[in-house]
Amino acid sequence: MYRDLRGRSLAGVPRRSGGVPARPNLPPDDRASDQARLHRLRPGLVFQSLTTNALSGVDVWRTILFVAALETALLTLGAIGPLVLRWDDAARRAIETVSRPLALPIEETAFGILEVADSAMERAIRVISIERGHDPRGFSLLAFGGAGPLHAVSLARRLAIPRVIVPAAAGVLSALGLLVAEVGHDLSQGLVRPLRGADPAALDQILLNLRLRGRAELAGDGIPEEAMVFRTFADLRYLGQSHEVTVPLPCGPTDPSFVISLENAFHETHRRRYGHAAPDEPVELVALRVRATAPSQEVPVVPEGTRSRAPRESAAAWFDRNGAVETKVIHRDDLHPNASLAGPAIVLGEDATTLLPPGTVGRVDPFGSLILEIR
């Protein structure tokens, strides 16, 4: 039985298999006109469009599912709206189209939207950490993208991650990564066979051929041979499994002891990732891989300095259901290396906004990154 935020039954809501709310059926003409209206929407303006039109039940569901509903919730709670965009009134009217049918306060509805989004992001982090044998408590959370720093502290608290890092170029980190990424080529050859029965000389020849192909690819990119780096891997699995684990190849000559070392490395990797291993089970070699890379040119990312701005007044923002609190508003450009800050605070940047809920403390490192300690 599915229930709303107050525990009331949602038995009448149509659902697809797997419990996902179904999209209400629309007549063909309504679908076309509605798609045209959505096509005209610019990110961040969904609530302006919705609040200028009469909203049906279909519009309410689309508001929830549309990505801008998340931004609207943040605006409603004061995280970004009244400080930057001055759209808090429009955001509240948009959230009200969802809260009114549920008989919930606007702020509680906005928190519900954020909690749904945070839960989805938490599950995604669990997939790439806990489900691969990594304890998130031993890592820092890197927040990037325009919205990542808005959710980072909340996600870190959910997963007991002790530290959040918000780089100086958080909102354009992918573009920066494109500039600084190494040149690389991945090459592989499949050869499904029992690992114990593999001929070491044949494996050595396959790896040599893959290296030669990688060298040719890098040479075609204009990379000098002395700058080329080669790393080798094997895809392995237990006999009968349908998925493989990629394991770095041991250093040293490809001889019978190499095969034993590779098998032991597979058992250990499998244990670390899945919590168990079966050393008595036969291991199957599925493919050999070579990654041919060359380091990129160094790109300076140290902040150029700070700009003087008139101080902003504090603003009221909601961080929990207990109500709004007075929150410091800080410009990212005004934070110099070694500066310290503490929540509640909102850090406004050119490319991203960072939320520091109450109890969060942080500092700025020499590269301009915000290092937030989670309590």
> For residue range 9-31, what is the model confidence (pLDDT) as tens digits?
444 433 333 333 333 343 444 44
Note the pLDDT tens digit of each residue in 194-242: 998 888 888 889 999 999 999 999 999 888 989 999 999 999 999 988 8
Note the pLDDT tens digit of each residue in 315-349: 777 787 787 788 888 888 888 888 999 888 888 88
Residue-level pLDDT at 361: 93
In the predicted structure, residue 53 carries a pLDDT above the cut 50: no
In the predicted structure, residue 252 carries a pLDDT above the cut 80: no
Tokens of 157: 């608290």
What are the start-end ranges of the E strands in the chain?
140-142, 163-166, 183-194, 229-238, 245-248, 283-294, 315-318, 324-331, 340-342, 345-348, 353-356, 361-364, 370-373
Rg, the chain, Cα only: 26
- Closest among 237, 232, 270, 272 to 251, alpha carbons compared: 232
Q: What percent of the chain has pLDDT over 70?
A: 72
In the predicted structure, residue 186 carries a pLDDT above the cut 70: yes
Q: What is the pTM of this model?
A: 0.60
Per the model's pLDDT, the better-predicted residue between 70 and 146 turns out to be: 146
How many angstroms separate the CA atoms of 329 and 344, rounded?
A: 9
Question: The tokens 């209400």 sit on which residue?
Answer: 24
How many angstroms separate the CA atoms of 253 and 227, rounded?
A: 23
Report the 3 state secondary structure along 105-157.
CHHHHHHHHHHHHHHHHHHHHHHHCHHHCCCHHHCEEECCCCCHHHHHHHHHH
Of how many residues is the chain composed? 375
Identify whether the C-beta of residue 44 lies closer than 8 Å to the C-beta of residue 67. no
